[in-house]
Amino acid sequence: MAGLAASGSNPDVELLYDINGLAKDAPEWFDRVMEFVGEYGLLVAMVLVVVWCWWSVRRKGGEDAASSVAALVWAPLAAALAVLVNVPIRGFVERPRPFLDHQGLEVLVSGKTDFSFVSDHATITMAMGVGLFVANRKFGLLGIGLALLEGFCRIYMGVHYPTDVVGGFALGTAVTLLLSPVASALLTPVMKAVERSPRAGWLVRSLKESSYDGQGAVVPGARKENAGAEERDLAA
């Protein structure tokens, strides 16, 4: 397993050299930007997209607000779980980083001493992107686009083979989708309970869309219904 893709005639290696070769021809400042984006920037961007999606979902409200927020909560949890699943995979495959087996690569990040297959960055971003897609297709497409860009950056930086990235995409997608029904069944009731809470209900639904019953519990959509009733009374 350790010798996987060790041959220079391997298409995996050839694609690695083609993409990483762009770093040699690029200006120094651009490589530094790619280093930051590929190591930290896209991970932060993915978190911001999840927060953006959450803000949009809670403002929109509706009967599906709790299930949508539950899906958003599952996105980072799925990413964390996928990384844990990757731990034994890396130990079993034991694939060295590409710059250890191949000369002439432009390595933008030093100090990478762990195994290469599969890419944690690709796994995390794709898991979150697919989780976003389950919650909201528009934001999900944006998240998946960021994950694809992350995969390109990891190859560009010379720290992963293309198949490391593809493997990360597959792992993140599989964990997110296969366990999504179980996660939804567990998290949706929790989010519905949060939605009814007078203190934490704003996490699921905008307070403009809610009101309170006699015991102080949030009644989702009550304000909208009350407003409609008042309008009918005025019309009468």
Which pLDDT does position 207 carry in this prediction? 61
DSSP secondary structure string for all residues of the chain: -TTTT-STTSHHHHHHHHHHHHHHHS-HHHHHHHHHIIIIIHHHHHHHHHHHHHHHHHHH-STTHHHHHHHHHHHHHHHHHHHHHHHHHHHHH-PPPHHHH-SS----S----S--SSPHHHHHHHHHHHHHHHH-HHHHHHHHHHHHHHHHHHHHTTSS-HHHHHHHHHHHHHHHHHHHHHHHHHHHHHHHHHHH-TTTGGGTS-GGGEEE-TTS-EEETHHHHHHHHHHHHHH-
**How do residues 131-180 score in pLDDT, each as one tens digit?**
999 989 999 999 999 999 999 999 999 999 999 999 999 999 999 999 99
Residue 215, pLDDT score: 45
Mean pLDDT of 17-43: 93
- Provide the residue ranges of all domains of the chain, joining segments of one domain with +: 11-204, 206-236
Q: What pLDDT shows up at residue 101? A: 86
Give me the mean pLDDT over the 45-67 stretch.
85
**pLDDT of res. 199:** 82
pLDDT (mean) for 17-32: 92
pLDDT computed for residue 76 by the predictor: 94
- The string of pLDDT tens digits covering residues 197-230 is 888 777 787 766 554 444 444 455 544 444 444 4
In this prediction the pTM is 0.81
Q: For 189-199, what is each residue's pLDDT tens digit?
A: 988 888 888 88
pLDDT, position 117: 94
Chain segment 74-133, per-residue pLDDT in tens: 999 999 999 999 999 999 998 999 998 888 898 898 878 889 999 999 999 999 999 999
pLDDT at residue 146, as a whole number: 97
Domain 11-204, what fold? Answer: Vanadium-containing Chloroperoxidase; domain 1 (1.20.144)
